[in-house]
Amino acid sequence: MKIVMYSAVVLTLLILSGCGGDSRSISSATNSVDDKLRAKIDGFGLSGDPSKNRDIPAITDAKAQLGMKLFYTKALSLDFDAACVSCHHPLLGGGDKLSFPIGAEAMDPNLLGPGRLHKNTGNSLFDGGPTVPRNAPTTFNAALFDVGMFWDNRVESKTGEPGANGGSADDILMPGTSDSERTESLVGNLPATQALFPITSAEEMRSFGHAELQNGDAVRHYLADRLSGANGNTDLSDAARAAWLEAFREGLNAPDANASTLITIENIASAIGEYERSQLFIDNPWKSYVEGNTDAISEEAKKGALLFYSGYDEGGANCVQCHSGDFFSDGALYVMAVPQIGRGKNHDGSTEDYGRANITLKSEDNYKFRNMSLLNISETGPWGHSGAFTSLRSIVKHMLNPDESVHNYNPYTELKQRGIEVQCNDVEVNTAHALEQLHINRQKGISPHQNVDFSDEQVDQLVAFLETLSDPCVQSADCLRQWIPDPRSPNFELLQQLNATFQ
Ligand code: HEC
Ligand code: HEC
């Protein structure tokens, strides 16, 4: 009798373990992929939770609510035709689903995402394609960046302290009069510092006129005056200014403060930063797997994860050497030779994008771009600094073997066939320069990347793994509702928010 009871207990334990408890010991007999993967997870010290030990606001916090209003208002663009959300909408993966975004001078400023086109301004600045030279990255998980922001880290923490989100104002460098002349930030943390720049960029929100506003600071102070009414600014109606004052008083918990002390460029940027920092989307199937739920991801994804976390000598792709930790990025800069389409970004008027070298002016930094986080990656395409890839599969193949990917790259099949109109004039020659730099860096031992040739099946496995990094919330309009202002709110019209149509 005793023996029968004992074996019943063992049987129950076995069943329980098989159902997603701590299955390490049980699965060793049945599933070696899980075992190997658990060993990798332990070896790399992953917890699944990149938000640990961080102070992250909730979207319901008063300051994040103020930031949301500012993020959605066109009043922060000189010509009232673009807002942050024009290129970073939560329903569009925190970006815009375009290779290159269109900010100022859109044909229809209220249409976001695919179909948003640049107006033909009839002058030499318009060449038929977008004027912005780089892909708009997602604003999701802005609270998790510690090293730098932008594709070239030109907003950058001096310390990179883990968990500090860049630190306070004097810990952060930002572009001054030019990208290469950086100064200390005006505000703390990386997202708030970054928010000082789109409003001063002609292509994004500043527009090309208003010559009287001679530099970035003049634009910033003008926009703060617009919302507060300081310096006799009457761009907005009395009612709209009163609504902003109310919003700032509530958001900054200063019921008696006056407009000019409250509505400053520093407070605008730091409130926008809080809204972005509240966009924490990390509850994905992979996290659940790391936390012990063995059934959270498919067998195919597990095999992909193993390729991602295994070194070259083990037959893996070693993606983890750059896309490391629970945030899937070390924040560092590498040459990966993603095809160079678009207008380019440089000091020489070419169509090249020199990446980090635009900041440091050092040739050894040519074509280096920041390594991206892979959280929610299935929702944030097109991919790469130039948005050159329109499928997750094609960017993954590029990461495996840039030489082969560049050789096979065809802007017609990758972009134009999908209705994406972008400038591709010098794509071959510019991309060849970047690839050459990758070869030099490999020879010098600066680039840790090695080409890997995987079968189609293995590429599918990697893609299946990457798909487990998306939080279901970012795929659900219902879940994202909190991060989108309610169009029925009484101040909606007054604040001139976008009433965007979505595709
Ligand atoms: C015209 C489209 C456009 C508008 C409008 C715009 N952005 Fe961006 N955003 C971009 C592009 C393009 C980049 C990348 C630029 C680069 O790296 O050189 C970017 C980068 C960023 C980043 C850095 C993300 C990262 O991974 O480093 C953040 C955060 C961000 N934008 C927030 C904002 C905020 C806040 C506003 C409003 C104040 C705004 N953006 C307005 C297009 C836009
Ligand atoms: C040597 C460092 C390094 C390695 C190894 C590496 N990556 Fe990357 N990854 C980068 C950099 C840098 C970028 C941005 C490049 C650019 O756009 O110019 C990037 C971009 C990406 C992107 C697009 C991100 C976006 O938001 O557009 C994906 C997806 C990606 N990598 C996946 C992988 C996978 C999968 C592997 C392994 C097969 C891998 N990477 C290996 C450095 C690396």
Tens-binned pLDDT, residue by residue, of the chain (503 aa): 333 333 333 333 333 333 334 444 444 445 699 999 999 999 999 999 999 999 999 999 999 999 999 999 999 999 999 999 999 999 999 999 999 999 998 988 888 888 888 888 777 677 777 889 999 999 999 999 999 999 999 999 999 999 999 999 999 999 998 999 999 999 999 999 999 999 999 889 998 889 999 899 999 999 999 999 999 999 999 999 999 999 999 999 999 999 999 999 999 999 999 999 999 999 999 999 999 999 999 999 999 999 999 999 999 999 999 999 999 999 999 999 999 999 999 999 999 999 999 999 999 999 999 999 999 999 999 999 999 999 999 999 999 999 999 999 998 889 887 777 888 889 999 999 999 999 999 999 999 999 999 999 999 999 999 999 999 999 998 999 999 988 766 555 444 444 343 33
Pairing between β-strand 155-157 and β-strand 148-149 as defined by DSSP bridges: antiparallel
Rounded Cα–Cα distance for residues 113 and 98 (Å): 6
Rounded Cα–Cα distance for residues 52 and 324 (Å): 16
Alpha-carbon torsion (35, 41, 42, 48), positive or negative = negative
Q: 3 Cβ partners below 8 Å, 6+ apart?
A: none
Residue ID of nearest Cα to ligand 2 atom 41: 319
Q: 333 Cβ partners below 8 Å, 6+ apart?
A: 152, 153, 355, 356, 365, 368, 369, 370, 371
In a 3-state reduction of DSSP, which class is residue 245? helix
Contact 64, 275 (CB under 8 A): yes
Q: Is the CB of 132 under 6 A from ligand 1?
A: yes
Mutate to test the pocket of ligand 1, among 86, 87, 107, 333 (most ligand atoms within 8 A of CB): 87
Beta-ladder partners of 118: 106
Q: Is the CB of 101 under 6 A from ligand 1?
A: yes
Burial 320-332 (b: 16+ CB within 10 A, else e): bbbbbbbbbbbbe
C-beta atoms surrounding 482 within 10 Å: 18
User: Which pair of structure tokens corresponds to residue 135?
Assistant: 């892909």
Contact 333, 53 (CB under 8 A): no
Q: Is the CB of 155 under 6 A from ligand 1?
A: no
User: Which pair of structure tokens corresponds to residue 70?
Assistant: 């500012």
Rounded Cα–Cα distance for residues 58 and 71 (Å): 16
Mutate to test the pocket of ligand 2, among 372, 391, 403, 442 (most ligand atoms within 8 A of CB): 372
**For residue 309, what is the enclosing H or E element?**
helix 299-309
Residue ID of nearest Cα to ligand 1 atom 35: 195
Mutate to test the pocket of ligand 1, among 141, 150, 380 (most ligand atoms within 8 A of CB): 150
pLDDT of residue 224: 98
- Torsion angle (degrees, nearest 10) of CA 11, 14, 15, 18: -170
C-alpha 322 – ligand 2 centre gap (Å): 8
- CA nearest neighbour of 389 among 431, 351, 440: 431
pLDDT of residue 3: 39
pLDDT of residue 490: 57
Counting every residue, how long is the chain? 503
Residue ID of nearest Cα to ligand 1 atom 41: 84
Peptide bond into 382 cis (omega under 30): yes
Residue written as tokens 């617009």? 226
User: Which pair of structure tokens corresponds to residue 31?
Assistant: 């599933």
- CA nearest neighbour of 179 among 337, 347, 364: 347
pLDDT of residue 31: 64
Closest atom, ligand 2, to C-alpha of 384? 17
Alpha-carbon torsion (52, 55, 57, 58), positive or negative = positive
CA distances, 249 to each of 52, 68, 245 (Å): 31, 15, 6
Rounded Cα–Cα distance for residues 208 and 215 (Å): 12
pLDDT of residue 444: 95
CA distances, 192 to each of 18, 69, 139 (Å): 46, 15, 12
C-alpha 318 – ligand 2 centre gap (Å): 11
Closest atom, ligand 1, to C-alpha of 203? 1
**For residue 166, what is the enclosing H or E element?**
none
pLDDT of residue 30: 53
Q: Based on C-alpha coordinates, what's the Rg of the chain?
A: 24
Contact 127, 425 (CB under 8 A): no
In a 3-state reduction of DSSP, which class is residue 290? helix
Q: Is the CB of 268 under 6 A from ligand 1?
A: no
